[in-house]
Each structure stands twice: as structure tokens, then as C-alpha cells.
Amino acid sequence: MVIFRGKKGGKEGKKAKKDNVLKDAVANAKLWETKLDAIQKSRLEYRENAKKLMLDNDVLQQQMAQTERDTLEVISFLKQEDIKKDDQVDEYSQQIHQLQEALAEKTNEVKLMQSELKLVKEFRRKRAQMQRELDEIKESMFMTEKKHKDTLQQMEHKFFEEKVRLQQEASKKIAELAERAHTEAIRYLLLLSLKCTFSI
């Protein structure tokens, strides 16, 4: 009877030991499952952050492209205005040429009618008037051209400065996004490394 009880006690001890091993295995499996879920979650968060950074970068690139297109449109508009001003200058030049021709014609008429004092006085009056008109047109043409050139230079300078400012802001934002992505990547790798270390 004593020997029988000894064998039974040995079997129960082995069974209890197996149960403990099984419980430990289940606990370890659950622990690793929890760790795996945490890593998967961190991985998804990192992917979302990277995706958001890429989208922000695309928006900045689009804004820069739009700014360049707007600048080109303004410069094109200014060039068109410059062409119009050139046409006005050509028109003024033609008027000057016509007035010069008229002045020369009147001068020839005076030479042919030197005996008539009245015509000579009339010619002088008209010549002085045409000369004043000629001077006024020249002055107007000069001032118009000068004002247009000054305005064009100012606007080109302004748009150049604006373009440079936007490019600098975009470069700064891209650098910040890259730094943030780099920092997130390092943090993720450190976290993963720590988790793996603690799990070991």
C-alpha cells in the first residue's frame, strides 16, 4: 500500500509541473502578443506621421509652383504693358516726325513768301506754337517712359523679393519637416530597441 501511494504522488507531481510549464508558456505567449500589438501600433503611427509629412511637403511644393506661376504671369503682364508703352512712344515719335515735317513745310512756305510780312508773322506764331507742342510731347514722352521704367523696376524687385521670401519659407518648412521625420524615426527605433531589450 505504501509503494502504491508513492507512485500516485509522483504522477501528480509531474502533472502539476506540466501544468505550471503550460501556464508559463501561455503567459509568455500573451506577453509577446501584447508586445507585438504595441509594435504594430507604433509602426502604424509612424507610417501615418510619414504620410502626413509627405502630404505637407507636397502642399508646400504646390504653393511654390503656384507662386512662380503667379510671378511669371505678373512679369508677362508687365512686359505687355511695356509693349503698349513702346507703342505709345512710337506714336509720339510719329507725331514728332509729322510736326517736324509740318514745321519744315511752313518754313519753306515762309521762304517763298518773304515779301508778305503778315504771312511771315503768322508763320512765326504757328512755328512757336508747334515748337511748344513739340516740346510738350517730348517732355510727356520722356516722363511717361521714365515713370513706366521706374514702376516696372519696382514691381520686378518686389516680386523678386516675394519669391525669395516664399522660397526661404518653403525651404525652412521642408527642413523642419525633414528634421521632425528624422526625430520620429530615431524615437521609433529607440523605442523598438528598448522594447526588444526589455523583452529579452
**Total-model pTM:** 0.29
pLDDT tens figures, 1-57:
434 444 445 566 666 677 777 777 777 778 888 888 888 888 888 888 888 888 888
Give the residue extent of every domain in the chain: 15-197
pLDDT tens figures, 153-165:
998 899 899 888 8
Q: Which of 170, 161, 172 is nearest to 71 (CA)?
A: 161
Length of the chain: 200
Sign for the CA dihedral angle at 126, 127, 130, 131 comes to negative
60 Cβ neighbours under 8 A, 6+ residues apart? 170, 173, 174
pLDDT on residue 6: 44
